[in-house]
Amino acid sequence: MEKMPLTVRRAIELMGLYFLGSIIIVGQNIITPLLMAFFLAIMLLPVYRFLRNRKLGEALSISLALLMLVLVLAGLIWFFSAQLSLVVNDFPQIRKNVTLHLNSLSAWLQGLTGVSTARQVELLNQQNEKLLNWAGGFAGTAASSVTGIFVFIGLLPIYIFLLLYYKNLLLRFVFLWFPPESHKQVEEVMRESEVIIKSYLGGLLIQITYITVLLGGILLLIGIKHAILIGVIFAILNLIPYVGALIGNLIGVLLTLSSSQEVWPIFAVLGTIAFVQFLDNNILMPRIVGSKVKINALITIIGVIVAGAMAGVSGMFLSLPLIAVMKIVFDRTSNLKQWGVLFGDEKPKYSPMNFPVFRLGSRKVQKKLEVQNEIEPTDKEGKPTPTPPKGEDDKKEPKE
């Protein structure tokens, strides 16, 4: 491929991306559970290896690791059921509060537009048929989605068990795709990917826990009803970069509106969420996950939207670890380095238009960019590598 003209190589890359996207869209019901199982299997690897070191059989070690995962998921489902039952018990009061807020909104619209409450009700009645048709279509979609979720959950443990059981066979299959001289690079990519995935997903589990405790605890002290439920919903939705936080804010406001006749709790919820998010984004999460691989915000948002369009909500959850793994592969592949640069957060301090050194993909320039952007370089095991001392040419910064 290196002997091909540059334009032909770029065209093949773009065609490859197109066909990869088409395959994901067509086969999302097969690919999405496999990807989720792959990430969860990597998370269970430390437990599996611990049990294997205790001389337990391979099948028994995998089964015990899976049992631990099932117990954690069962605990989450029980917790959600308990919280939702509290909301259902408060339904009469919620209905009364919603009616009160709708009346206030109607009065505000009448003062703003001059349209009377009776006319507003008449306009709503005219839209009833459309709303009922939309609700019927939505209910049908939701029913099919619930069926798909049960199939998804049923396949996950089977996939995880088989991926762990046949991991050595799958690794051999991967190595056989490449010539022997590339095996060292392939090994580095796989080791680094494992470290990144475990670091990222492990960090997310910790993130869900402390956001739930911190946000739910503060809201509970303030006196917000369903505080723990708001904390859990926001913590889980926050796993979807940017988009999830917006949806979490909206759900928090709606739950607060429906459980209170006053307006101040809304500002209390929004202010608390903003405070917790600030702590999470700037202090807690960087220390937990670290800075082994940084993805820029533009690619993160595009990745979340594209993954959501291609594979639904599960695609949005999987988008960031997938992009991180793709960046690792691109950085290690000479023909695809430019995609690794596009995905990364190693922003040059000076313009490549004025300083040609930043147009190069050399390792020296890359290390300099990592230092500038406070990205911690790592070795093939994922451990931090010492930063080399500044040379004479590093002291002379180019001037724009």
Q: How far apart are CA 250 and CA 244, in angstroms?
A: 10
**Residue 3 CB neighbours (<10 A):** 5
pLDDT of residue 64: 92
pLDDT band of residue 93 (cuts 50, 70, 90) is low
Q: Measured in whole angstroms, how far is the alpha carbon of residue 20 from the centre of its chain? A: 20
pLDDT of residue 382: 46
End-to-end alpha carbon distance in the chain: 37
pTM greater than the 0.85 cutoff: no
Can you name the residues that pair with 295 across neighbouring β-strands?
344
Check pLDDT > 60 for residue 165: yes
Write out pLDDT tens, residues 29-40: 788 888 888 888
pLDDT of residue 319: 82
Can you name the residues that pair with 384 across neighbouring β-strands?
378
Domain ranges of the chain: 188-290
Write out pLDDT tens, residues 172-186: 998 988 888 888 888
Q: How far apart are CA 134 and CA 125, in angstroms?
A: 15
Residue 387 is classified by DSSP as P
Write out pLDDT tens, residues 97-141: 666 666 666 666 666 666 666 665 666 665 555 555 554 554 454
Question: Per-residue DSSP letters for 298-344?
Answer: HHHHHHHHHHHHHHHHHHHHHHHHHHHHHHHHHHH-GGGHHHHHHHB
Decide: 230 and 255 in contact? Cβ < 8 Å: yes
Mean pLDDT, the chain, whole residue set = 75
pLDDT band of residue 25 (cuts 50, 70, 90) is confident
Residue with tokens 């599996």: 48
Q: How far apart are CA 96 and CA 227, in angstroms?
A: 20
Enter the tokens of residue 379: 């070795």
**Percent residues over pLDDT 90 in the chain:** 2
Question: Per-residue DSSP letters for 102-153?
Answer: HHHHHHHHHHHH---HHHHHHHHHHTHHHHHHHHHHHHHHHHHHHHHHHHHH
